[in-house]
Amino acid sequence: MPIVESTYKPPIFFKRGFVSTVYSGLVRKVTLKQERERITLSDGDFLDLDWSYSKEKGNKLIILLHGLEGNGQRPYMTAPAKLFNENGADAVCVNFRGCSGMDNLKFSSYHSGFTCDLVEVIYHAFSQKGYSDIYLKGISLGANIILKYLGERDVPNEVKAAIAVSVPCFLAGSARELHTFKNKLYHDRFLRHLVKKIELKHQRFPNQLTVSDLKSIKTLNDFDNVYTAKAHGFKNADDYYSQCSSLQFLPNIKTPTLIINALNDSFLSHECYPVKEAKNNANVYLEMPKHGGHAGFIDKKNVYYNERRALDFVLGLKK
H or E stretch covering 261? none
Q: Which of 1-5, 86-90, 138-142 is the least confident region?
A: 1-5
- Asked whether residue 283 carries a pLDDT value surpassing 90, the answer given is yes
H or E stretch covering 60? strand 60-65
Could you report the per-residue pLDDT of 47-89, keeping only the tens digit for each? 999 999 999 889 999 999 999 999 999 999 999 999 999 999 9
Q: What is the pTM of this model?
A: 0.97
The Cα–Cα gap between 178 and 79 comes to 26
Percentages (nearest 5) of helix, strand, coil residues in the chain:
45, 15, 40
Q: Minimal CA–CA distance to 31: which of 279, 228, 302?
A: 302
Q: Minimal CA–CA distance to 88: which of 62, 58, 133, 64?
A: 58
